[in-house]
Amino acid sequence: MDPADDGSAQDELFSRPERQRRRRRRARGEPPRGMYLLPHVITSANLFFGFYAIVQSFQVDVAGSADRAALGIVLAAVCDAIDGRVARLARSSSRFGVEFDSIADTVSFGVAPAMLAFSAGHLQTLGRPGWVMSFLFTVCAALRLARFNVSPGRYKGFFEGMPSPAAAGMVATTQWFVSFLRESGIEVGVPEFLVAAGMALLGLLMVSPIPYRSGKELDLRHSYGTLVLVVIALALVVQEPSVTLFVLGVAYVASGPVEWVWRRATGATLTELPHPDPLAGEPPRG
């Protein structure tokens, strides 16, 4: 069937003004109107999984609730990883999308991990320092997201500071790893002060100027070695996700400071990006 004929047949189902609007959108090469909503639906799913993680964190005394909270954070990170790409494919990037995405990320990667650590790590036993360290993680995540909206980064292929989904993922995978050890018969008692210190460290890494590599720069089409490493990592994740994701998380968290020290010692530099006015025009969806 001729695509033009198919479009004309569909136009007959709509009123004349609507048919004219549809023809103008097709002439400009714009996607169907429904496609504009898809990125917002995915961002809403991100927010839902963050809320789900918070609810499960309140029920930490129920068996498996902490692991389900961790799962909610990981699923929120998956939604966050694809909503921006879908927005660009649908050509629906907008200031509204940026702000909505940041609000959802603050809940899923700022509040939810802090609540999980506070409840599963029993930080309430520390009194005021316990909830202060949890709040420090939350406020650092919010600052990190706000900074990303204003300035995505100083260097090509790198984030400025650890991304908030990575910090939240570190909290989630640590919970899974501890559960794995206990299910394997290894009784692990993580001191509360160590949990609080870990949350503070993750928060400070998010707002630090330390560059972290961006996964967006991975070239799987032209780099055979990178493709092999990704395949091996996926195989290990399928084999034992609790251990593999925890190890990958620790490696990524440590990679920023380690590379920063190495560059300071060797004098290596990174390629700096231009910094246009972040308030001019409509920025890409974060």
Q: What angle do the packed helices 192-207 and 241-266 form, to 10 degrees?
A: 50
pTM of the model: 0.81
Burial 144-167 (b: 16+ CB within 10 A, else e): bbeebeeebbebeebbbbbbbbbb
Quote the strand ranges of 162-231, DSSP E: 211-213
Predicted pLDDT at 17: 60
Between CA 242 and CA 138, with CA 82 as vertex, the angle to 5 degrees is: 65
Q: Within 10 Å of residue 255's Cβ, how many Cβ atoms?
A: 15
141-150: pLDDT as tens digits = 999 999 888 8
Q: Which of 228, 206, 211 is nearest to 219 (CA)?
A: 228
Please, what are the domains in the chain?
29-211 (1.20.120.1760)
Predicted pLDDT at 36: 72
Ramachandran angles phi, psi of 99, nearest 5°: -70, -40
User: For residue 280, what pLDDT band results from cuts at 50, 70 and 90?
Assistant: very low
For residues 120 and 57, is the Cβ–Cβ distance under 8 A? yes
4-30: pLDDT as tens digits = 444 444 444 445 665 556 566 555 555
